[in-house]
Every structure is written in structure tokens, then in C-alpha cells.
Structure 1
Amino acid sequence: MMSEFTVNMNEYLPLRDLVFNTLRQAILKGELKPGERLMEIQLAEKLGVSRTPIREAIRKLELEGLVIMIPRRGAEVAKISHKSLQDVLEVRGALEELATDLACQRINEEELKELTDAEDHFKKVVENNGSEMEIAEADEAYHDIIYKATRNDKLVQMINNLREQMYRYRLEYIKDEAQRGTLINEHENILEAIRIRDIIRAKTLMKEHIDNQELTVSQNLEDGAEAESRLNHKRK
């Protein structure tokens, strides 16, 4: 069953770009799942457009590596690879450490209160069994306050440019319910280190936070690949 996503009409963008942005967001946010087939007719009917902008969008998504073409099957959402995960998280890790360093030096009392509130909200969403997307958005809001506290517009811009790709991996991490308690603890420890302006500890904790995400998602990818391999073996 196809997820509920729609085209967000914007008079300043051509239809082909609207369709492309809609499908791209659906993939990055997990509304279109890895391995899910992209049927032109179904997507055209769902979005209320012709097949032409759907076809053009799929070609562009293939160039971005978010879609792959399978012989005799057509287009499907690309699965997350270890290489793409590592590439994105290496860049994110470096930017997050720099952001944490600067935030420790520049954060004010009002922002510390915002960060505390964001962590409390994140904890409540997790403990109330919020959806994966709700937890991801609460996690993102926590990190956004750290970015804002850097007072570095170029750094924030670079992080925002990576945000959409990060979102896909953030969702994959959050799917592992066993890690959600760890996330709360990591957030609280980072917050406390920033509060007392312990730059070295805050950066170390942030690095561990990102490293744990990579390790967990990598392990989940391996487990998924093994499960798929066993299933394919049974079918033969």
C-alpha cells in the first residue's frame, strides 16, 4: 500500500520540479521504502499528474542515487548502502563536532533553556511511543538549537545542505527501538557538557553520538541483508 504523500503546489516551480521534490522527500523521509517499486501509472494517478513528469523525476532520482533501475522490474527506491552511510556520517560528524565546539563557547542562557526544553520534548516523544517521524523531528529540533548557537551562518548552511540526506539515516537509526534510551542519555550528556562549557567532553560525546548511529545502522543493514539472503535461499 502506497504511503500518503502529495504534491505541495508552488506557483514558482515547474510541475516536473514539484513532482521531483515530492518523490525525493518521500524517499528521504521513508514514506517510500528502500526496495519499493516506483510504478509510473500509480504515482501519476496518486499525484494527479501525467506520466511524463513522473518519468523525468525518476531519472533525476536515479542520478542522485536514490533510485535504481532493475532489469525487467523497472525503478525502485535504492537501499541504503554502507558506503553512502559512511560518506554522509563522516561529513556530519565533522560538522557536528565543530558546531558543538562553537556552541560551547557562544551559547547563551536563553538557548540553553531552549536546548533543555528540546531534550525534555524528545524524551517525552520517545517515552510516549511517538512515531518514527515524530522522534526524528524532535531529534532534529534538538540539534538545530546547537547549530543556531554557533552564530556561524556558513556552518549552519552546510549542515542544512546535508540535512535531507541525514534524515534518511536518522530514521533508520530511530527504527531500532533498543537504541532510543541510548539517544536520550546521549542528548542529556551532551546538554550537560555544553551547559558547563566543557568543549573537549562535549565534542567527544557528540562524536560518540554520531559513531553509535553509524554502528547501529550498519549492523541493521547487515542483519537485513542476511535475512533477505535467507529468504531468497528458501525460495530457490
Structure 2
Amino acid sequence: MLPVKLDSYKPLREVVFDTLREAIINGVLRPGERLMELQLAEELGVSRTPIREAIRKLELEGFVVMVPRKGAYVAGISLKNIADVFEVRAALEALAAGLAAERITDEELEGLERIIVRKKKSIEEGDVAGFVQCDMEFHDAFYKASRNERLVQILGNLQDEIHRFRSVSLAYPGRMQDALEEHRKIVEAVAERDVARAQKLAWEHIENAENSLLEAVRGKAAAAGEEGEGLGK
């Protein structure tokens, strides 16, 4: 990681917290990786105090686990955690899809269709990172079209955890193409103002994403010769 840039609008401890949190979300700090205060302080160009404060806050948010007599580690992606997150996500995404089918504008529909085109191009170029970015933009635009600010806020809060899963899920063989087709069908249902179909397709899309993620996680665990439930401990 690069040294943090001081932000005159934020205390140093918050800048450090945001930096470490983003590193975990984006996979720079991987599940199961030990967080060494001195090493992180040197990398970020700060003292150990804001590092220690950030780690404590990350523990409260579930991104870090403290192991007695061993220290702090990036929280693993457990099967239980996956099930909990996707159970909530499926219900909320179905709700968002139904509301979007009722409230979306023609301009927003065109925006979703443009993202679909970009996703197809990412697949053709083998650009996983580009596909992941498009995937995030698609869901953000989709949430906004629901016209429910509280729903957008709740789904936004889930996005950080979802993003930890997204790259693993989409790396599963064939998942990017399947996700593209699923998104295409959802957009068609929304464009036709078919609320029930949009909800059903959105729910199925999240279930398929969860199943791909679970297969990917189990595959990584098997490859590592682990019997544990998930990535990292």
C-alpha cells in the first residue's frame, strides 16, 4: 500500500481506517492475512496509534478478527457469512427490481443498456476487473431507479461486503457470461414494466451469484487442503 494522503477534512485516524477498509474490500489485504501494526504504519507513513485505532474499528465492523495471543487478522469469508449476506441481498434486490419496473425512466433504461454493452466487451477482452466495475455500476444504477432512498442506503451499506465476494464469484468459470445474460433479462423485464418477472429474475440472479461463490470458495479451500468453512480463518 502507498502512504496515506492527508485530508484536511478528515482526522488522520479516519483516513487510515478508510485506507485499510478499502484495502480489505479490494483484496489488497486478503482473508486470513495478519495485520502487523508496525509494518502497516511504515507502509502508510503514520504512527502505530492510528493503525491500532483503525484495526479496532474494523473489528467492530466485522472486517477484522482478533485472535488471542496472536493478533489481528483480516476476517475470512465464511459460508455462514455468505449465506447471511446473500439471503438479505436477494430480498432487497427483488424489492429494488420491482420498484424499478414501476419507476425507472427511459434515460435510466438507456444507461443500464449501455452498461450491458460494456460488460459484454469486458468479457470479450477477458477484462475481469472491468467487468467487476461495470457490475457495481449496474447495481448502483438499478438501486437508484427504485426511487426509494432508504432502500438505496441499505443496499449501499451491503455493497462493501458484496464487493469482497464479487471478484471471487465472477472468477468462477462461466459466471461472467451467465451474469451478463441474467442482467439482460432483468433489464428487459423492467423495460416491459413487468414487476413480478423483474422481482423473480433479480432473486434468481442473486441465488446464482451465491451458488457460484460457494463453489469457488469450496474449490479454493479444497485446493489449499483445508476443511474449514471459507477463505481465511
Q: Quick check: TM above 0.5?
A: yes
The code of the aligned residue for 2:204 comes to: E
Where does residue 221 of structure 2 map in the other structure? 225
1:129 is matched with which residue: 126, 129, 132? 126
Q: What's the counterpart of residue 164 of structure 2?
A: 168
Q: After the TM superposition, which residues 99-114 of structure 1 pair with which residues of structure 2 at under 5 Å, given as runs?
A: 99-114=96-111
- Equivalenced residues, count: 228
Shift of 1:8: 4.6
Q: Match of 1:194?
A: 190
Q: Distance in 2 between matches of 1:213 and 1:6?
A: 35
> By how many angstroms is 1:230 displaced?
5.7
Taking a change above 3 Å as real, the CA distance of residues 80 and 231 of structure 1, as seen in their structure-2 partners, is closer
What whole-Å deviation, never above 9, does each CA across 1:9-46 have from its counterpart, x for those lacking one? Answer: 32222111211111011101212111222122221111
Task: State the AA in 2 paired with 1:221.
Answer: V
**1:158–1:6 distance in 2 versus 1, CA, 3 Å:** farther
Q: Bigger relative contact order, structure 1 or 2, given CA contacts below 8 A and separation 6+?
A: 2
Could you tell me which residue of structure 2 aligns to residue 43 of structure 1? 40
Structure 1 Cα separation of the partners of residues 114 and 213 of structure 2: 27
Letter in 2 for 1:154: R
SS at match of 2:76: coil
1:21 aligns with 2:31: no
In structure 2, distance between residues paired with 1:85 and 1:6: 32
Instruction: Quote the RMSD (CA, aligned, Å).
Output: 2.0
Secondary structure in 2 matching 1:75: strand
Match of 1:80 among 70, 77, 80: 77
- 1:63 maps to which of 60, 79, 82: 60
Give the superposition deviation at 1:211. 0.3
Who is 2:231 aligned against? none
- Residue identity matched to 2:199: K
Offset of 1:62 from its aligned partner? 2.0
- Identity between Structure 1 and Structure 2 (%): 47
Output the amino acid matched with 2:84. Answer: D
Q: Structure 1 pair 231/152, CA: closer, same or farther in 2 (3 Å)?
A: closer
**CA pair 31-5 structure 1, distance change in 2 beyond 3 A:** farther
Determine the structure 1 residue equivalent to 2:29. 32
1:53 aligns with 2:50: yes
Q: Structure 1: which amino acid aligns with 2:145?
A: A
